[in-house]
Structures are given as structure tokens and as C-alpha cells.
Structure 1
């Protein structure tokens, strides 16, 4: 049985993978799929792909495109979640900051440079007409636990992370959400190391077929809202709202989307150049 290592964030978006593993569907295809949780998000997964710790990743679109251009020898093989990610913009509950404009020129907590929380801080700044040189400052906090410590102790002033993942921290009075910032494109894609893809294309295709069968019917799974609420410690009404807003994909990323992401990242000086679609994406 072939072992294949895959990484992703330990969040509700990825429950479809857990269900496939739990039901033994990958083993039926003679694949020993090993899931690794990446609490540090996209930046940590990019490192995992580069180092060969994982063969595949369920990863933020903008983050992997940036990292491939920066030398990560991986390719996008499919969009996983077709809808935008809703990034909540959070401050410490007792913070004096009340709205987005109060945060202009303050310090953003980011998991690491090149991460989603880092890139989306630029998108948010652009959306609000801030000076990208003067109005953005960063404090690296590694993960959600680091953000709690960083904001509570005043090392950073605000933190951007997926709205529903952080909702329990808003509910318990750790954070206060001052606004939302949706990503301007489909949020999660599946990326694979090029070396691995060359010799294991059929296995990657088999893995995608299994997870796609689950995501096609995900919302129809009996009591799926309760399962998510229990597993990820969320309120049932928040899960139901999230399900109503989220659509999965079984298709590869479009040329139009790749162009949009690159245009945005290039305009923000996050990438030094734009690449051809074929250098970023592989069709199976």
C-alpha cells in the first residue's frame, strides 16, 4: 500500500477528508493517505511541501501561487472550496480599536510572512485605501494560540483569520471582530509537489475522485451541521450559516482566476513577476 502524505488546516472546511479516512475509502484504492494538521496555516504548509514532509496540501489559493513563484516546486491540481474565505478582522476584547480605520498604521499579527494572514492584510489595506508602505506593520505569532497571546498582551493590534474558526474566541470574550474581509477569489486549492506528481498522477487522481464524491454530497450528509459543531466546537447556528455560504469544487482552477490572483499580488508587490498558467497549474 502506497503512503501519501497530505496537509491541511484543522478546520471544518476539511471534514470531507476526515470522513474519507474514517470510512477507509482511500485504503480501498490501496492508498495509505496520512493527514497532517497544520496549525500554522498556509506558510507552514508551503514549507512542508518544499521540505517533502507532505506530498499534497489543501492550501489557500493566493498563498500557494505566491510560494510557487518564489520557488516552491508544486502545482495546483484542483480548486477545493469554490467560495471566498471570509476573513474576520479581530482585536483583543478590551482593545480601544472600534473599527477598521482605527487599525490604520497599527500592527497586524500574522502566522508567518507569506501566509494567508499576511497576504490578506495587504488586501484589506488596499480595500481601505491605506498606504501599503506606511500603514502596515507585522508581528509573527505562528498560529491561533499565538494570536490570542499576541493580542491579549498587546504585542500586536489586530489579527485576520477565518471568521467561523475564530467565532468561539469572539463568543468567549477573547477577541472582538470589528469587520470582515472576503478573499477576492476561491479560497482553497489542492497543490501537489511536482516530483511526486510526475510518478503518482493516477494515485492523486484517485484521491481527488474520492474527496470530490464526498464534497458533491457534503451538505446532504445527515446531521452534518451537528457533526461539524461538535467536532470543531462551534455553535450550530454558526455552522448552518457557514454551510449556506460555502460551495465546494470538483474542477481545476480557471485561467481567469489565476490571472486575477497574480494581478492582485503583483499590484501589491507581493510577487515580483507573473507566471504562465501552465507553470502554476497541472490538469490530471
Structure 2
């Protein structure tokens, strides 16, 4: 039985992986799939792919594209979540900031450079016609717990993170959400190290088949809203809203979307050059 290591954020988007692992679906197919949670997100997973700590990652689209352009020896093999990620723009509850324009020139908390929270700060700046060279400043806070401490203590002024995962923090009066910033592209893809793809191509095909069979009918799983609410400490109405807004994918991201993302990242100076479609994706 071959062992394959995969990483992802411990969020509701990835519950299907947990359910498949719990059900023994991968072991029944002769694969020892080992899941690792990455609380600090895409930047940490990109590094883990580079370092060979994991073979695969369920990772933010813009983050892995940037890192492959920068030399990460990996390829995207499938879109995992087709719909945009809705990033909430958060400030400390007692902050004087009332709207997004108040944040111009202040300090954004980011999990690490190259992370989704970092890249989306640029997208938010562009959406609001800020100067990305003078109106953006950053404080590295590692993860969501770090953001809570950083904003509360005034080390940073605002923080972008998926709005449903931060909703309990808003409900507790720790954060205030003053706006949203949806990704203008599908939010999550599955990426694989090139070396792992050569070694485990058949096993990776089987992994995709198993997870895709589950995500196709994910919303029809009995009491799935209750399962998500309990596991991720969410209100049932918030989970139901999230489910209504979220669509999984079983297809490879197309060339037009890859080009559009690269064009936007290039315009923001997040990447310095573009790669061909074949350098970013692999058809398996």
C-alpha cells in the first residue's frame, strides 16, 4: 500500500476529505492517504510542496499559481471548488475603522508572504483604486489565532479571511466585518508535486475519483449542514448560506481562467512573468 501525503486547511471546504478518510475509502482502494492540516494556509502548503513534506495540496488557486511561476515544482491537476472564496475584511471590534476606505495606508495582517491573505490584500487594494506601493503595509501573524491577537493588540489594522470561518469570531464581538472581497476566480485547486505525479500517477487518479464521487453529492449527505455546524462551531443558518453559495468541481481549470488569473497577478506585480498553461497544469 503506497503512502501519499496531502495537505489542506482545516475548514468546511475540505470536510469531504475527512469523511472519505473516516469511511476508509482510500484504504479500501489500496492507498494510505495521510492528511495534514495547515492552519496558516496556502503559503505554508506551497513551502511543504517545495520541500517534499507533502505530495498533494488542496490550495488557493492564486497562491499556487504564483508559487509555480516562482519555481514551485508542482502542477494543478483539478479545480476543487469552482465558486469564489468570499474573503471577509475584518477589523478589531473596538477599532475606529468603519469602512474599507478608512483602511487605506494602514497595516494588513497576513499569515505569511505569498499567502491568500497577502494576495487578496492586493486584490482589495485594486478594487478600491489604492496605490499598491504606498497604501499597503503588512504584519505577518501566521494564522487565525495570530490575527485575533494582532488586531486586538493593535499590531495590525485589518485582516482578510474566509468570512464564514471568521463568523464565530465576529459573533463573539472580537472582530467586526466591514466588507467582503470575493476572489474573481475559482477558489481552490488540487496541486501535486511533479515528482509525486510521476511516482504515483495511478494512485492520484484513484484519489481524484474517490473525492469527486463524494463532492458530486456532498450537499445531499443527510444532515450535512448539522455536521458542518457542529464540527466547525458554526451557526446552522450560516452553514446553509455557505452551502447555497458553494459548488465543487470535478474538472481541470481551463486555460482562459489560468490566463486571466495570471494577467491580474501580473498587473498587481505579484508575479513578474507569465507561464504557459502546460507549465501550470497537468492532465492526468
Specify the TM-score bucket, using the shorter chain as the normaliser: over 0.9
Tell me how far apart the structure 2 counterparts of residues 130 and 77 of structure 1 sit (CA, whole Å): 34
Q: Corresponding residue for 1:234?
A: 234
Q: For residue 224 of structure 1, report the CA deviation from its aligned partner.
A: 0.1
Tell me how far apart the structure 1 counterparts of residues 85 and 255 of structure 2 sit (CA, whole Å): 20
State how many pairs are aligned. Answer: 284
Q: Corresponding residue for 1:29?
A: 29
Q: For residue 207 of structure 1, report the CA deviation from its aligned partner.
A: 0.2
Q: State the secondary structure of the residue aligned to 1:95.
A: coil
Q: Given the alignment of the two structures, is residue 106 of structure 1 paired with residue 106 of structure 2, yes or no? A: yes
Q: State the secondary structure of the residue aligned to 1:149.
A: helix
Q: For residue 19 of structure 1, report the CA deviation from its aligned partner.
A: 0.5
Q: For residue 199 of structure 1, report the CA deviation from its aligned partner.
A: 1.9
Tell me how far apart the structure 1 counterparts of residues 70 and 264 of structure 2 sit (CA, whole Å): 16
Q: Given the alignment of the two structures, is residue 199 of structure 1 paired with residue 183 of structure 2, yes or no? A: no
Give the RMSD, CA atoms, in angstroms.
Answer: 0.4
Q: For residue 186 of structure 1, report the CA deviation from its aligned partner.
A: 0.1
Tell me how far apart the structure 2 counterparts of residues 196 and 18 of structure 1 sit (CA, whole Å): 22
Tell me how far apart the structure 1 counterparts of residues 168 and 82 of structure 2 sit (CA, whole Å): 24
Tell me how far apart the structure 2 counterparts of residues 169 and 256 of structure 1 sit (CA, whole Å): 37
Q: Corresponding residue for 1:78?
A: 78
Tell me how far apart the structure 1 counterparts of residues 199 and 46 of structure 2 sit (CA, whole Å): 21
Q: TM-score, normalised to structure 2's length?
A: 1.00
Tell me how far apart the structure 1 counterparts of residues 57 and 99 of structure 2 sit (CA, whole Å): 34
Tell me how far apart the structure 2 counterparts of residues 181 and 34 of structure 1 sit (CA, whole Å): 33
Q: Corresponding residue for 2:275?
A: 275
Q: Corresponding residue for 1:149?
A: 149
Q: TM-score, normalised to structure 1's length?
A: 1.00
Q: For residue 198 of structure 1, report the CA deviation from its aligned partner.
A: 1.0
Unmatched 5+ residue regions in structure 1?
A: none
Alignment of 1:5-154 (within 5 A): 5-154=5-154
Q: Deviations 1:88-135 (Å, cap 9, x if unpaired)?
A: 000000000000000000000000000000000000000000011110
Q: Corresponding residue for 2:169?
A: 169
Tell me how far apart the structure 2 counterparts of residues 198 and 162 of structure 1 sit (CA, whole Å): 34
Tell me how far apart the structure 1 counterparts of residues 98 and 213 of structure 2 sit (CA, whole Å): 44
Unmatched 5+ residue regions in structure 2?
A: none
Q: Deviations 1:37-95 (Å, cap 9, x if unpaired)?
A: 00010000001101111000000000000001111100000000000000000000000
Alignment of 1:184-195 (within 5 A): 184-195=184-195
Tell me how far apart the structure 2 counterparts of residues 201 and 161 of structure 1 sit (CA, whole Å): 33
Tell me how far apart the structure 1 counterparts of residues 256 and 70 of structure 2 sit (CA, whole Å): 21
Q: Deviations 1:247-282 (Å, cap 9, x if unpaired)?
A: 000000000110011000000001010000000000
Q: Deviations 1:185-242 (Å, cap 9, x if unpaired)?
A: 0000000000010121111010000000000000000000000000000000000000
